[in-house]
Amino acid sequence: MSPLLEARGLVQQYTSGKSLFGKPDIVRAVDGIDLTVTRGEVLGIVGESGSGKSTLGRMLLGLETPFSGEVLYHGQPMPAPRTEQWRRLRAQMQLIFQDPLAALDRRMTIAAQIAEPLEIHGLAKGAEVTDRVAALMARVGLRRDQADRYPHELSGGQRQRVVIARALATNPGFLVCDEPVSALDVSIQAQVVNLLRDLQEQDGLTMVFISHDLKVVRNICDRVAVMYLGRVVEEAPSDSIFAEPRHPYTQALVSSIPLAGQGLEGRIILRGEPPNPAARPSGCAFHPRCRFADASCTVQVPPLENHGGRLAACLKLPRAPRLAA
């Protein structure tokens, strides 16, 4: 399996709250990430809000230029945003948004919006457009008679189906789903995740699936990367990460997934403040909330190392007790 997408040393930082006396605060949203996405796989990216996962997704798509590091797609560097080359590349990579209502133009019918990528990239003309739109709508489970509806006339789940249909219109090779179901009702979430999984399996789509919700990720991903304050702390195949999480943060996340028929005992409660990228702790960024942290964790930044087929970044890892699965 060849890598479709490679990220090397990605860093993104923002200057925020420029104070009047000219000392801008620099916030590192993403702080040195290496990732490889192989063709046909679904990579999950999990983290709390503020962990930099959406920024990472946008950089993987080339929507943002990284502060340093590079993204290679088919071995080629990502063209600069909004250039002609970049625009052509959009036909091959697409984004599915968190809030479908915001991502859709409320003054256009959904058929017109699904047809847009075809028009933009000159992929179809005339009656062919209508046919392809109808086919796309059928694929994502929208009824034919909904073609002339406006976004606000549809339910949240249906709107997300429109967004998915629009993203698939150009037959992209790579799809980033940024929290695609977190704005939806829980009852609808499973339907949309199943749809995405079916589409992925039919087309062999390569996907990056960003979510704060482990349950959702477990359903669809082949491999999962867990992020904490702009860094990957653990990366492993989906089955093993859920069966046997190694990093203390992953352990806490996994233990928080409710299981039917089980009580709440054994849950690891995280102490302390939720991560704030503007005030990154020294050493291992997770140490203020970690149950195993000691003095060395406050000074030394743990590298992401191979521990028996998985990557994890924790100084205590060799000695950290395994969580009983």
Partner 1 sequence: MADTAVPAPAPSLLTRTRLRMPWLVVLAVAWIVLMVLTAIFADWLRPHDITRMNLSVRLAPLGTPGHWLGTDELGRDVLSRLIQSIRVSLVIAFGSTILSAAFGTTLGFLAAQFRGWVEHLVMALADFQAALPFMIMSLAVLAFFGSSMVLLVCLMGFYGWERYARIARGLAISASAQGYAAAVVQLGAKPSRVYLRHILPNVASTLIVSTTLTFPEIILMESGLSFLGLGVQPPESSLGNMVGFGREYLTRAPWIMLAPSAVIVMTTLSISLLGDWLRDRLDPTIR
Partner 2 sequence: MLRFTLAKIARAGLTILLVMTFAFIVLRMSGDPAQVLLGPDAPQDAVDAFRERWGLNDPLWQQYLAYLQQILNFDFGISMRDQSPAIDLVLERVPATLAITVPALILKVCIGIPAGVYAALHRDSIADRGVIMMSIFGFTIPSFVLALVLVLVFAVTLDWLPSGGQDTWRHAILPIATLSIGGIGILARFSRSAMIEVLGQPYIRTAMAKGLPWREVVWKHALPNAAIPIITLVGFMVGALIAGAVVVESIFSWPGVGRLIVVSVSNRDLAVVQCLLLVIAASMVLANLCVDFAYGLLDPRLRQKRTQ
Residue ranges in contact with partner 2 by CB under 8 A = 19-21
Q: How far is the CB of 11 from partner 2 (least distance, A)?
A: 28
For the chain, the C-alpha Rg in angstroms (whole number) is: 21
Among the listed residues 23, 82, 319, 322, the single contact to partner 1 using CB under 8 A: 82
Return the number of the residue (121 or 291) whose C-beta is nearest partner 1. Answer: 121
Q: Does residue number 91 form part of the binding site for partner 1 (CB under 8 A)?
A: yes
Closer CB to partner 1, 168 or 314, in the complex: 168
Query: How far, in Å, CA of 253 to CA of 105, rounded?
Result: 36
> With binding defined as CB under 8 A, does residue 103 bind partner 1?
yes
For residue 210, state whether it binds partner 1 (rule: CB under 8 A): no
Diameter of the chain by CA atoms?
A: 69
Choices 18-26, 82-90, 244-252, 305-313 (CB under 8 A): range interacting with partner 1: 82-90
Q: Does 87 bind partner 1 (CB under 8 A)?
A: yes
The angle at the Cα of 152, spanning 133 to 178, to the nearest 5 degrees, equals: 70
Give CA–CA dist 279/31, Å, rounded.
13
Determine the interface stretch with partner 1 among 64-72, 85-93, 259-267, 303-311 (rule: CB under 8 A).
85-93
Residue 266 backbone phi and psi in degrees, to 5? 85, -5
Residue 110 has phi, psi (to 5 degrees) of -65, -30
Query: x/- contact string, 28-67, with partner 1 (CB under 8 A)?
Result: ---------------------------------x-x----
Instruction: Report the nearest approach of partner 1 to the CB of residue 16 (Å).
Output: 15
**What tokens appear for 94 in the block?**
């697409």
Least distance to partner 1 from the beta carbon of 121, Å?
6
94 touches partner 1 by CB under 8 A: yes
**Binding of partner 1 at residue 280 (CB under 8 A)?**
no
Pick the closer one to partner 2 by CB: 2 or 19. Answer: 19
Identity of the residue, 51 or 170, whose beta carbon is nearer to partner 1 in the bound complex: 170
* Nearest residue to 105 (alpha-carbon basis) of 63, 150, 148: 150
Give the residue among 57, 47, 30, 53 at the shortest CA–CA distance from 274: 47
Nearest C-alpha neighbor of 301 from the set 75, 55, 31: 31
Place of tokens 């000219």: 22
| Rounded-to-integer distance, Cα 257 and Cα 259, Å | 6
Applying CB under 8 A, which part among 13-21, 90-98, 196-204, 225-233 lies near partner 1?
Answer: 90-98
Contacts with 29 (C-beta within 8 Å, 6 or more apart), sequence order: 12, 13, 14, 52, 55, 230, 277
Q: How far is the CB of 178 from partner 2 (least distance, A)?
A: 31
Asked if 72 and 80 touch (Cβ cutoff 8 Å), the reply is no
List residues near partner 1 by CB under 8 A: 61, 63, 82, 87-91, 94-95, 97, 102-108, 116-117, 120-121, 152, 163, 166
